[in-house]
Amino acid sequence: MQCECCGRETEVLIEIGAISPKVSVTGRCCVDCCAFILTALEDAREDAPELKAEIIPVEETQQFVDGNGSLIEEDEIRFGMKDSQGKIHYFRVYKVWPIPEYEADEIYPAGESRLKAERTAYCFRTFGHQKSDDMLMAELLEKLETALLNPVIEEEKSSVPFLGKQEFLRERGYAEIGRKNEEIGFLVDGRYFGARKFADMFDRYEGFRLCWQIQDALTGVPDRDTYWVPVRLTDERLLDELERLIVSSAGSREFISYKNVNAFDIGFDALMEKLINYAGCNPPGIGKMAGMKLIRRLEELETDDDMFPEYHVAAIREVIGEF
């Protein structure tokens, strides 16, 4: 028998996927490799303990205002959540109509006397076709928790005494485009930075080059271990992702039951975002060809669902018809 990790022949193999919830894939390894993996996982657990944000309920009679100073209705969902430094941020959650979208923005106690410049302004949204309210709320809370526990800005004490502490951006993180006093800038950790100040926070990376990806506002918030891996989209890659989506949601390449359509829809939303990106960044004929290949594959599937895949085909046609 051969170890799938080091490739050496051995008489005993251990299934590593069954020994730790931190291992997302399965494999059969020798005793030495298994011990090494377990040690590495244990070291990672000690060095980076799992962080959880504490949700803090608020009293029904407690008054809050939004960023403009307008009172927040008491019947809205309101709660507090601590960030990585222990500071409490308060949020309200409301549903956006008529689409199934939720939004959470930061609010402030009505009696707060701090300067407005010291306030942060976190705001997140979730959206999903055929997702339940519970699923959307769970995604929204996950975004809030990740953002508060994984700040993008780091503080370092300057080697020059009179400069005090300086702010820098982590190697991985996220920023939003914002506007203040008619000037385009960036929102990082709920704070606004002008273009010059934002550029200054890259000072430590002089001599390096930057890669960036423009992500939809509905995309998840990256944490400290997240890498956005550059991928070149092609029609073959999009078709391959559709194939994997079919198998993962239905367990078959030829048939999708009505019971599996909801699971398929969740992955299909992500695939559609990539198709929109691909069609928009290429000549019209390229995007249309990719869309037609996806449609052809969907129409080959057998199903006992009355609406599948008509809705999905229509969605693809709407995208490729715009380019």
Encoded tokens for 38: 């377990």
Provide the residue count of the chain: 323
What is residue 311's predicted lDDT score, i.e. its pLDDT?
A: 92
What is residue 47's predicted lDDT score, i.e. its pLDDT?
A: 42
List the pLDDT tens digit at each of the 323 positions of the chain.
777 767 778 877 777 665 444 444 556 777 777 776 666 655 544 444 455 778 899 988 889 998 888 899 888 889 999 988 888 999 999 888 766 688 999 999 987 655 555 689 999 988 876 678 888 888 899 999 999 999 999 888 766 666 678 889 998 889 999 888 888 999 999 999 999 999 999 988 989 988 888 887 778 888 877 887 778 889 999 999 999 999 988 888 999 999 999 889 988 988 998 999 899 888 878 899 999 999 999 999 999 999 999 999 999 999 988 76
**Assessment of whether the complete model's pTM goes beyond 0.75:** no
Distance CA 67, CA 51 (A): 28
Q: Residue 206 carries which side chain, given as an amino acid letter?
A: E
> 98 forms bridges with which residues in the sheet?
none
CA distance from start to end of the chain: 54
Contacts for 96 with CB less than 8 Å, ≥ 6 apart: 102, 103, 125
What is residue 41's predicted lDDT score, i.e. its pLDDT?
A: 59
Distance CA 241, CA 319 (A): 18
Encoded tokens for 238: 């999009």
Distance CA 287, CA 300 (A): 20
- The three-state secondary structure class of 91 is strand
**Residue entry with tokens 């959206």:** 127
